[in-house]
Chains A and B, each alone.
Chain A
Amino acid sequence: MSTSSEATGTLRKTALNPVHRQMGAKMVDFGGWDMPVEYPAGFGERPGGLIQEHLAVRTAVGLFDVSHMGDIGMEGPQGLEAVQHITMNDASRLAIGQAQYSAMLYPPGTFVDDVIVHHLDKNSYLLVINAGTREKDYNWARENARNFECQVEDAGDNFTQLAIQGPRAAELLQQLTDADLSQVKNYWFTYGTVCRLKETLIARTGYTGEDGFEIYIPSEEAVSRRVWFEVLEAGKGMGILPCGLGARNTLRLESKMALYGHEISDDITVWEAGLDRFCKLTPEKGTFIGRAALERQKAEGIPRTLVGLEMCGRGIARDGYKVLDKSGKDIGVVSSGSYAPFLKKNIALAFVPPAQSAVGGAVSVEIRGQSVEARIVPTPFYKRPKA
């Protein structure tokens, strides 16, 4: 086996980059960003590393720097019309203070990116987008909103975005804010003072399958550092851990949340990705980029669909591995696969033909030349307990 280190000269860095390094994080290039993948040293009494971080989020609380994600502001007299035109969910259903999971699509009904649309104010929307697709998304939004009376702004560098996730996230954040978090429902947001920063956007959103919040604070380095450590200190007694992209991925996988380039891409349609419920083909939604192609595909049928797999034999199914049917025929591919630290199983998401997608179905995954048995299981693999 081999180990290596990488130069980071051309990678983008969040304001908290020096903090991650100071805390001994293992760093990785993620979509052109120098990001922490895990923090082996942990925090306080609690040791870290991917598995511990994952478990901290499932049982207590974890803190993530997700500032690498982008932010697009869309504001103007036709702000709603512009957002409706370029996204697939129905933004007209959003009250001020409400957010929704959505996506920007290409004309064939495939993904530019998935986004969370926030209705900030009358005629004003915030789209939070992925790190690896920031420029592409911003250019797409600006280009396709140009016929509407709407300003499109790239606000990504203005914010440090922190995700506080876990069953004790609300309890922790409440200690640090004057906003009444009990009034903020899932996928809603508010503004409040957080760690003495006024008018901080606090959204009850996340990418872990747990309750949690994402807060948007100024991207200035000293401010970001102060808030980061205040959150950690306040959570120390709860066993908080700083969490990296490693745990971020295993958490979202257990919760069957899509990752761009894996379950969604410019090559995969909304129906194939199983994101039907976030795509509104209603009269109220109106036309949007990709709608016509999606209506056609709905009528014609889809060639592949996303299923959950649980490995039965010994082996970990990983991204890109082939899925085979009982006779050994190649029927599909793993989009994401890993050991699942909370479930303590090896799980995967995979694209297979609809005819072979029934739950309970026996398939196998080709792992380094060997056929290892797997079973199609219901998803999400993990659902957080009802409060």
Chain B
Amino acid sequence: MSYPTNLKYTKEHEWLNPETGEVGITHHAQESLGDIVFVELPKPGAEVAAGKSFGTVESVKAVSDLFAPVSGTVTAINDALATAPEKVNQDAHAAWMIKLKLKDPNEAAKLLSAADYEKFVAEEGA
């Protein structure tokens, strides 16, 4: 898997598009979870803090927290995921979950690049 280079990544397997403020989970994350059946997201207007949980993603077998890559305000949520959570499995990097107005644009720079994330995933699996 070659991770999109326009996105930034976290060790909790989330991605951020620094330009659009969109946040989702990575291909590796959806693969580990298996079939996703439920996504719980905050309401527009909610504040999220970097490193803190902002919602959950559930597979049939398990519930996983979603951790905010950066701090900000939720400006939109992806309604499609309420009725079609499997979109996350189909294309994790296209299936954005929330859109953030970043509190501090510099926070994004501290996240992992695609290359660093790929390396992290390879090492974690070893």
List chain B residues, Cβ under 8 A from A1. 12-14, 25, 29, 33, 57, 64-67
For B1-25 the 0/1 string (1 means CB < 8 A from A) is 0000000000011100000000001
Complex formed: what's the CA distance from A49 to B57 in Å?
17
Tell me which residues from 332 to 383 in chain A have a Cβ below 8 Å from any Cβ of chain B: 338-339, 341, 368
List chain B residues, Cβ under 8 A from A246. 34, 60-61
- How distant is B33 from chain A, measured CB to nearest CB, in Å? 8
Complex formed: what's the CA distance from A2 to B66 in Å?
9
Asked if A50 is at the interface (CB within 8 A of a chain B CB), the reply is: yes
Asked if A205 is at the interface (CB within 8 A of a chain B CB), the reply is: no
List chain A residues, Cβ under 8 A from B65. 1
Looking at the complex, which one of A3, A49, A51 makes contact with B32 (CB distance below 8 Å)?
A: A3
List chain A residues, Cβ under 8 A from B57. 1
Whether B34 contacts A40 by the Cβ 8 Å rule is yes
Asked if A322 is at the interface (CB within 8 A of a chain B CB), the reply is: no
Looking at the complex, which one of A3, A315, A316, A339 makes contact with B124 (CB distance below 8 Å)?
A: A3
Tell me which residues from 32 to 67 in chain A have a Cβ below 8 Å from any Cβ of chain B: 37-38, 40, 49-51
Whether B56 contacts A368 by the Cβ 8 Å rule is yes
Whether B63 contacts A49 by the Cβ 8 Å rule is no
Asked if A5 is at the interface (CB within 8 A of a chain B CB), the reply is: yes
Asked if B111 is at the interface (CB within 8 A of a chain A CB), the reply is: no
Asked if A17 is at the interface (CB within 8 A of a chain B CB), the reply is: no
- How distant is A266 from chain B, measured CB to nearest CB, in Å? 25
Residues of chain A at interface, number, CB under 8 A: 21
Looking at the complex, which one of B33, B38, B60, B124 makes contact with A341 (CB distance below 8 Å)?
A: B60
- How distant is B6 from chain A, measured CB to nearest CB, in Å? 22
Whether B25 contacts A50 by the Cβ 8 Å rule is no
Looking at the complex, which one of A3, A339, A368 makes contact with B60 (CB distance below 8 Å)?
A: A339
With CB as the reference atom, state the residue of chain A lying closest to B67. A1
Asked if B28 is at the interface (CB within 8 A of a chain A CB), the reply is: yes
- How distant is A262 from chain B, measured CB to nearest CB, in Å? 14
Asked if A20 is at the interface (CB within 8 A of a chain B CB), the reply is: no
Complex formed: what's the CA distance from A5 to B33 in Å?
13
Complex formed: what's the CA distance from A316 to B29 in Å?
20
Whether A40 contacts B31 by the Cβ 8 Å rule is yes
- How distant is A85 from chain B, measured CB to nearest CB, in Å? 39
Whether A51 contacts B13 by the Cβ 8 Å rule is no
Known: A1-B14, A318-B63. A339 touches B34 (CB 8 A): no
Looking at the complex, which one of B28, B32, B33, B37 makes contact with A316 (CB distance below 8 Å)?
A: B37
With CB as the reference atom, state the residue of chain A lying closest to B25. A1
With CB as the reference atom, state the residue of chain B lying closest to A37. B61
Asked if A26 is at the interface (CB within 8 A of a chain B CB), the reply is: yes
Tell me which residues from 1 to 39 in chain A have a Cβ below 8 Å from any Cβ of chain B: 1-3, 5, 26, 37-38
Complex formed: what's the CA distance from A49 to B60 in Å?
10
Whether B37 contacts A5 by the Cβ 8 Å rule is no
Whether A316 contacts B61 by the Cβ 8 Å rule is no
Interchain residue pairs with CB less than 8 A apart (19):
A1-B13, A1-B29, A1-B33, A1-B65, A2-B64, A3-B29, A3-B124, A50-B34, A50-B60, A50-B61, A246-B34, A246-B60, A314-B38, A315-B38, A316-B37, A316-B63, A338-B60, A339-B58, A368-B63
Q: Which residues of A contact B (CB under 8 A)?
A: 1-3, 5, 26, 37-38, 40, 49-51, 246, 250, 314-316, 318, 338-339, 341, 368
Closest 6 CB pairs of A and B: A1-B64, A339-B37, A3-B32, A51-B35, A50-B60, A339-B60
